[in-house]
Amino acid sequence: MTMTFAVANMRVARDVREAERALDEALLRQSELFASMVTARREAGLEPFTGHEALLRLAKSQQALLDSSGDLARVHGQLLGIQHKMSGNDECPPEEKTSHLSNVA
């Protein structure tokens, strides 16, 4: 079954947005973890260097997420270029509207 350009465009746009949100969420969660680790060390009265290697690895992981976010932004830009070539439109498709009932769990 062949997918129309419009359907493909909407699916890719949805997936790009979800990937961007997921990266932001991962950055926020890692930032919370970083703060929790430093706070726990301080409040437990541990030496300032305790857990230093783990903090360094977490910071490296955060940097990797930031690098991934930059790469994803470039992917997004390239996809917009493809869309412009195919349809003459260089704006992101609108986000799909979901009913408020689908958000109730």
Check pLDDT > 60 for residue 8. yes
Check pLDDT > 60 for residue 95. yes
Task: Kindly report the pTM of this predicted structure.
Answer: 0.80
Name the least confident of 42-46, 71-75, 87-91. Answer: 87-91
CA 18 to chain centre: 7
Per-residue confidence (pLDDT) for residue 97, from 0 to 100: 66
Residues sharing a CB contact under 8 Å with residue 39, sequence separation 6 or more, in sequence order? none
- Residue 52: exposed, middle, or buried by beta-carbon count in 10 A (0-12, 13-18, 19+)? exposed
Per-residue confidence (pLDDT) for residue 58, from 0 to 100: 98
From the list 99, 96, 98, the residue with the least C-alpha distance to 17 is 96
Per-residue confidence (pLDDT) for residue 94, from 0 to 100: 76
Name the least confident of 2-16, 37-51, 66-80. Answer: 2-16
Q: Can you tell me the distance from the alpha carbon of 67 to that of 36, in angstroms, rounded to the nearest whole number? A: 23
Cβ proximity of 58 and 30 under 8 Å: yes
